[in-house]
């Protein structure tokens, strides 16, 4: 892909540690590089953004784990993405957990008005009082829309980073009523996995492109837990079902054809050699088709 750069953002600050093992998503960029993604994509440049050390600190002011470190990292990541966008480059930001979306959205807000096509097996539209983990990776979509603690939602006084009505959130398959109600009460254009298929993936993607055509551009967030659990079980919160690679590819390719696309971030693959190789093969085809 012309003008492609890779920004490695291996932060796991947005996750709660399970047991004695630090969340493994920080290994994702190195793992994808080892298994050949960079060789296929041939980026112009690779930039590594080292995150603060992982901890389980619960910030009392915000009710979110590692809130201060996430804010600091988001600012640094934002500046790097903004520099890339202003130079006409296409950033592929490789996480890391979903809290890296905060830095991506902050960069976009600092240079214009943008939309977001949010592809995720969860809504990530949760507030601290609802969250059992108090982890930002489950709150990132709510945060970038201005919902939640001011410390995270109003960095550099730029709240909201992306307006709810300029977001399409697709692919959720965790359908517990109270959880889903949080996003359906918003003005986000929300399609769970089953509504996405029923409405037609191509039709909904086209609807997003039409609805955001007046904006300065849009960004793609891809959490690989949107994929079918049999295709991608090595994620933070596995659950049955999910998109096929063919379905995901039809979305990504249609979005990449638009001149309004500015960049993409991918998150939450907890590295495993077999599944990483299959992901690399499919994802690189989506980007280079």
Q: pLDDT at residue 273 above 80?
A: no
Q: Which residues pair with 170 in a beta bridge?
A: 119, 191
Q: Which H/E stretch holds residue 4?
A: strand 4-8
Q: Strands 90-94, 217-223: parallel, antiparallel or unpaired by DSSP?
A: unpaired
Convert the pLDDT of each residue in 186-228 to its tens digit.
999 999 999 999 999 999 999 999 999 999 999 999 999 999 9
pLDDT digits (tens, 9 = 90+) for 85-131: 999 999 999 999 999 999 999 999 999 999 999 999 999 999 999 99
HSE at residue 210, side-chain half, CA atoms within 13 A, is 6
pLDDT greater than 80 at residue 272:
no
Domains and CATH numbers, the chain: 4-288 (3.40.800.10)
> In sequence order, which residues have a C-beta less than 8 Å from that of residue 52 and are 6 or more positions away?
11, 13, 66, 69, 72, 73
Of 55-64, 174-183, 198-207, 232-241, the poorest mean pLDDT is in: 232-241
| pLDDT at residue 80 is higher than 90 | yes
Cβ neighbours of residue 145 closer than 8 Å, sequence gap 6 or more: 125, 160, 161, 162, 163, 164, 167, 186, 188
């Amino acid at each position: 892909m012309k003008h492609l750069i890779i920004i490695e953002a291996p932060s796991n600050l947005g996750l709660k540690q399970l047991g004695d093992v630090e969340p493994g998503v920080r290994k994702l960029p190195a793992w994808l590089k080892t298994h050949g993604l960079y060789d296929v994509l041939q980026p112009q440049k690779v930039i590594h953004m080292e995150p603060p050390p992982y901890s389980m600190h619960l910030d009392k002011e915000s009710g979110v784990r590692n809130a201060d470190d996430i804010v600091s990292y988001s600012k640094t990541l934002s500046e790097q993405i903004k520099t890339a966008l202003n130079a006409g480059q296409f950033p592929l930001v490789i996480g890391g957990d979903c809290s890296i979306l905060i830095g991506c959205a902050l960069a976009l807000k600092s240079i214009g008005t943008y939309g977001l096509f949010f592809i995720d097996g969860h809504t990530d539209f949760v507030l601290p009082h609802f969250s059992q983990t108090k982890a930002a990776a489950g709150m990132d979509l709510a945060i970038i829309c201005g919902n939640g603690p001011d410390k995270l939602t109003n960095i550099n006084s730029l709240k909201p980073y992306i307006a709810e009505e300029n977001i399409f959130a697709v692919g959720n398959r965790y359908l517990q009523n109270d959880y889903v109600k949080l996003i359906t009460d918003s003005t986000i254009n929300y399609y769970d996995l089953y509504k996405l298929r029923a409405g037609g993936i191509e039709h909904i993607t086209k609807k997003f492109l039409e609805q955001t055509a007046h904006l300065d551009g849009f960004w793609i967030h891809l959490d690989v837990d949107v994929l079918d659990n049999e295709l991608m079980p090595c994620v933070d919160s596995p659950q049955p079902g999910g998109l096929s690679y063919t379905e995901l590819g039809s979305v990504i390719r249609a979005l990449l054809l638009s001149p309004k696309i500015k960049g993409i971030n991918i998150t939450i693959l907890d590295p495993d050699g077999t599944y990483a190789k299959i992901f690399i093969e499919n994802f690189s085809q989506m980007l280079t088709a």
